[in-house]
Amino acid sequence: MLQNVTAAPVRRSLEFGIYRDGDNNLDAIQESTLSQALRTSRTDSRIEFTVEDTTRLRADGDAVVSGALHTEQYTIADGDVSRVHLVRAHEMSSEANLARFVAHTLGNAQASGAQTTWLDLVDHGGGDGGGLETRDGRVMSMPDIAKAISDGVTLHAHEHPEDAGRGVDGVVANQCLMDTMGFADALSHAGVKYLAASPETMLAPGVPSGVAHAIASHAHAPDAMAKAIVNDVMRTKYDAGELDFGPAAAFDVLDLDPEKIARAERSVKQLNDDVAAEARASGVRRAVHNDARAIDGMARFPEATSDMPWRADRPAIAFYEKLASDARMSDKVRADARAAAEAVRSLVLSHRESDDFKAFGGSDYSDAVGPTVHLPTSRRQIDPWASAGVTETDNSFYQAVDEDAMTRVTT
């Protein structure tokens, strides 16, 4: 006689939330991140993808066609798409909407028994200026992104007090220029443990969704996980006819441990304050300015203009090491610079960079190891797009480390 059997719920290792804003010119090409997720799920049952996709694309049989802007919400697991909802187009740069998506993803993680939860933010990006674009061209600021994630965690805990300890473990910034000290600092204060991002512009489709496999495979081994993520990104090649290209010239996974972040804050602040204090000494201001100019800013591609705000984003470790080796600096400033470089380097779990990125005209990124800091060398670089709502100075890290003091010396 057959007995009634209740199937045990599937327990996942990873809930991977994909928050994709396709309301832009990258809609079609970045859609492949969803196709990648479907393929990954077919071979790795440990992963469930929670998706919110605002797009003009719709499946029509075997084809994908363009139509009216709308939002699709669904999950991907075991090679299948389920729990599909089509709704009016959401404003993906809304803090409230991102917070709701975070809570929804955490709810799915609770239901699936997932051990860890990561978010993949897919849009244009713009460093500390922001990374989720509005329909009028403005961007959701970096502090607001971090706050939305924190608010989403709080919302989940309120709705599910029995699961109040669950949070967002990592963020994949599938966007340009998001590997910054400002973003890392804000995410750490929001309780996020890891940031996977590029200090440079990303080439769409960007980070392959297959990195979810690397995360699920090394959930309890951060170093191995970080190495696997970076390997997946930097080994990926997209076909552009005669030129195969990778999604990034440089890519990092950062450890956002609060103690490490606090140490970096203290070290950078000490350096900035001491440089400012010694700037009146003969030759010091010019020396610091020249050291900053010696480190190329980001957006290192032939078409980039000097007034792009991210030309003033410079690899933090490279700049601090440059100061540390400059005999024109006092022993104190050189020691400060070494300490700052070491503190920032301690955040980098894994990285890879290119010294000849052919997609950007052979640009050299061999110093792009770890996060950037906003380090202008002229007044017009401080916040050149502030009138358009893009600011890289209105964030807690810039203020906490007295970066304006360093800016007054370098400009």
Please report, in tens digits, the pLDDT of each residue of the chain (411 residues total): 334 433 444 679 999 999 999 998 899 999 999 999 999 999 999 999 999 999 999 866 555 667 899 999 999 999 999 999 999 999 999 999 999 999 999 999 999 999 999 999 999 888 888 888 877 667 888 999 999 999 999 999 999 999 999 999 999 999 999 999 999 999 999 999 999 999 999 999 999 999 999 999 998 999 999 999 999 999 999 987 667 889 999 999 999 999 999 999 999 999 999 999 999 898 999 999 999 999 999 999 888 887 788 899 999 999 999 999 999 999 999 999 999 999 999 999 999 999 989 888 899 999 999 999 999 999 999 998 888 778 899 999 999 999 999 999 999
Residues 49, 51, 55, 61, CA torsion sign? positive
- Mark which of 225, 257, 289 sits at the end of a domain: 257
d(CA 125, CA 103): 22
Same domain (yes/no): 221, 326 = no
Query: Are 41 and 123 part of one and the same domain?
Result: yes
Please tell me the number of Cα atoms within 13 Å of 245 on its side-chain side: 20
**What does the pLDDT read at residue 242?**
67
The DSSP call for residue 42 is H
Rounded distance, CA 166 to CA 109, Å? 9
Q: Do 314 and 230 belong together in one domain?
A: no
Rounded distance between C-alpha atoms, residue 365 and residue 317, angstroms: 13
Same domain, 377 and 251: no
Please indicate, yes or no, whether residues 282 and 393 belong to a single structural domain of this protein.
Answer: yes
Please give the pLDDT value at position 66: 77
Among 226, 257, 288, the domain boundary falls at 257
Whole-number Å distance between alpha carbons of 389 and 132: 13
- Whether residues 213 and 294 share a domain: the answer is no
Position 393 in a domain: yes
Q: Does residue 6 lie in a domain region?
A: no
Same domain, 90 and 228: yes
DSSP SS3 for 192: coil
CB 102 within 8 A of CB 17: yes
Given 257, 286, 307, the domain boundary residue is: 257
- Shared domain for 234 and 131, answered yes or no, is yes
Q: Which two tokens stand for residue 328?
A: 């024109």
Q: Are residues 36 and 102 in the same domain?
A: yes
What span, in angstroms and rounded, lies between the C-alpha atoms of 373 and 61? 47
Residue 277 belongs to some domain of the structure? yes
Number of separate domains in the chain: 2
Q: Are residues 164 and 217 located together in one domain of the fold?
A: yes
Structural domain of residue 362, as residue ranges? 260-410
**Residue 60 has what pLDDT?**
61
56 shares a domain with 117: yes
In a domain, 66, yes or no: yes
pLDDT at 7: 40
Q: Say what the pLDDT of residue 8 is.
A: 40
Residue 7 within a domain: no
d(C-alpha 78, C-alpha 74), whole Å: 13
Bond before 384 cis per omega within 30 degrees? no
Considering the domain boundaries, does residue 225 fall inside one?
yes
For residues 288 and 390, membership in a common domain is answered with yes
Q: Is residue 46 in a domain?
A: yes
pLDDT of residue 35: 95
| Residue 223, domain member (yes or no) | yes
From the list 190, 189, 191, 195, the residue with the least C-alpha distance to 175 is: 195
Q: From CA 83, how far away is CA 142, in angstroms rounded?
A: 30
Residue type, 176: C
The pLDDT, as a whole number, for residue 62 is 58
Rounded distance between C-alpha atoms, residue 45 and residue 57, angstroms: 27
